[in-house]
Amino acid sequence: MSVTKKLMYINRRAPYGTIYAWESLEVVLIGAAFEQDVSMAFIDDGIYQLLKGQDTNDIGMKNFSPTYSALGDFEVTQIFVEKESLEARGLALDDLMHLTYEDEDEDYAEKDSIKVVSSSELADIMEQQDVLYNF
């Protein structure tokens, strides 16, 4: 395949209550093999996927939150979090997992993957995409 497209994965669901968050993360991991220009957007309750300190022991489900930290190794380095959604939930960037990647263009310096953007900035970014995956 020779085409390179801009693909964005859009996440609006809380984790665990339904499986969408986990199964959409599986798509992102597989998608990494296709060497496209990928990004993720976390909007509304999708933001809850990124909360620190998830521990599913008492409910007997698989804790998939550590997988987000691996995204950088899969070259998924552009993770947009909508500011308005954070604020509506009383959350700040510091409540989310610290996701990073190594920038190979800058001698593998560690950089933050998450960018907090306003609704209006995110709308612009969505408008630049070729494909929007929703789950």
Partner 1 sequence: MKFGIQINEGPYTHEASDTAYHFIKAALDNGHEIFRIFFYHDGVHNGTRLTAPPQDDRNIVNRWTELAEKHDLDLVVCVAAAQRRGIADADEAKRNGKDTDNIAPGFRISGLGQLIEAGIQSDRLLVFGD
Partner 2 sequence: MATLHTVNKSPTDRNTLEACLRLAKGGSSVLMIEDGVYGALKGTQKSGIVEDAMKDIKFYVLGGDLKARGIEENKLIDGVNVVDYAGFVNLATENDRVQSWL
- CA-CA distance, 75 to 38, in Å (whole number)? 9
From partner 1, partner 2, none, which one binds at residue 93 (CB under 5 to 8 Å depending on kind)?
none
Q: Which of residues 20-39 bind partner 1 (CB under 8 A)?
A: 20, 23, 26-27, 30-31, 33-34, 36
The region of 44-52, 58-66, 75-83, 89-97 touching partner 1 under the rule CB under 8 A is 58-66
Q: The sheet that has 6-11: what strands, in order across it? A: 114-117, 79-82, 37-42, 6-11, 131-134
In Å, how far are 11, 36, 44, 100, 107 from 15, measured between CA atoms?
10, 26, 12, 21, 35
Nearer to partner 2, 80 or 101 (CB): 80
Site map for partner 2, 80-109, x if CB under 8 A?
--x-x---xxx-------------------
